[in-house]
Amino acid sequence: MIIGIIPARFASTRLFGKILADIGGKPLIQHTYENSKKSKLLNDVIIAVDDDKVARVARGFGARVIVTPKDLQSGSDRVAYVTRDLTDAKIIVNIQADEPFIKGTMIDQAVEPLLFDKTVNISTLAKRIETVEELRSPSVVKVVFDYNNFAMYFSRSAIPFVRDAKTNSEKIQLTEIYKHIGLYVYRRDSLLKFTKLQQTDLEKTEKLEQLRMLENSLKIKIVITEFDSLSIDTQEDLVKARKYYLRYLSANKG
């Protein structure tokens, strides 16, 4: 079985309670859940919550909900907590709760390497950066990978450094620079192994838990997607999401 798990922490530090923020008449978490259900490869989608209010809301729109302890350190730990009881699940997809416009197709793209190559144990998505704003933003994580599409490094800085470029616009034009889209696919054992590892030096420095995998020689397959994603981290992001949703409804009337 392939199970999608959405770790939903209510007390977000940057935008408190964001997963219940209204977007077009629905809470953010409902958009994420409903779009995840459009995946053709997932057998089920579970929302892993740490708050009774979120649990009630999620059950209200028909989601399967599992309540997890509040003291878990990260979304990955929340996913692993649920996974321990899912003994029939072979592949686990960690779907970020704050990405309301995730596409089912993106989930399927990320899952496919594990279906067709038994040597791949972890995969994630990346998309080419197209704007200077994305290039410069530390909230947009960049990734470089080898010729076999395995991650070499993730950073909040613009990588690779384009030595011949005189401006940020030239960097984008001269070199393919990719941003990481934080959707992770794991074989069950790899997820449980990863979440038992101690935090590493680079992870602490960049505040990126995927670096813990690389520092422990866990290989991450990068899948290039043409689809974009909007992560809601700030009030500004929420305003953008609401505007995007209105444009989407307008474009799809009738």
Q: Tens of pLDDT along 105-143?
A: 999 999 999 999 999 999 999 999 999 999 999 989 999
CATH class belonging to 1-101: alpha beta
> Token pair 């999620």 is at which residue?
58
Other CB atoms within 10 Å distance of the CB of residue 108: 17
Counting Cβ atoms within 10 Å, is residue 25 exposed (0-12), middle (13-18) or buried (19+)?
A: exposed
Q: Give CA separation, 14 vs 10, 36, 232, 234, in Å.
A: 11, 24, 10, 6
The parts of the chain modelled with pLDDT lower than 70 are 13-14, 250-254
Q: Which two tokens stand for residue 226?
A: 């043409």
Rounded to two decimals, what is the model's pTM?
0.92
Query: Distance of alpha carbon 161 from its chain centroid, rounded?
Result: 25
- Look at residue 239 in the predicted model and tell me its pLDDT: 92
- Look at residue 254 in the predicted model and tell me its pLDDT: 41
Tell me which H or E stretch contains 46. strand 44-49
Q: Which two tokens stand for residue 108?
A: 């399927």
Angle ∠(188,189,191) on CA atoms, nearest 5: 70
Nearest by Cα to 160 from 140, 180, 141, 175: 175
Domain 103-180+193-228 indexed as CATH 3.90.550.10: yes
> Token pair 């939903």 is at which residue?
8
Start-end ranges of CATH 3.90.550.10 in the chain?
A: 1-101, 103-180+193-228
CB 8 within 8 A of CB 50: yes
Q: Give CA separation, 81 vs 5, 6, 71, 86, 195, in Å.
A: 11, 12, 12, 10, 9
H-helix segments, the chain: 28-36, 52-60, 75-83, 104-116, 132-136, 168-174, 188-196, 201-206, 210-215, 235-251
Torsion 194-195-197-199 (CA) sign: positive
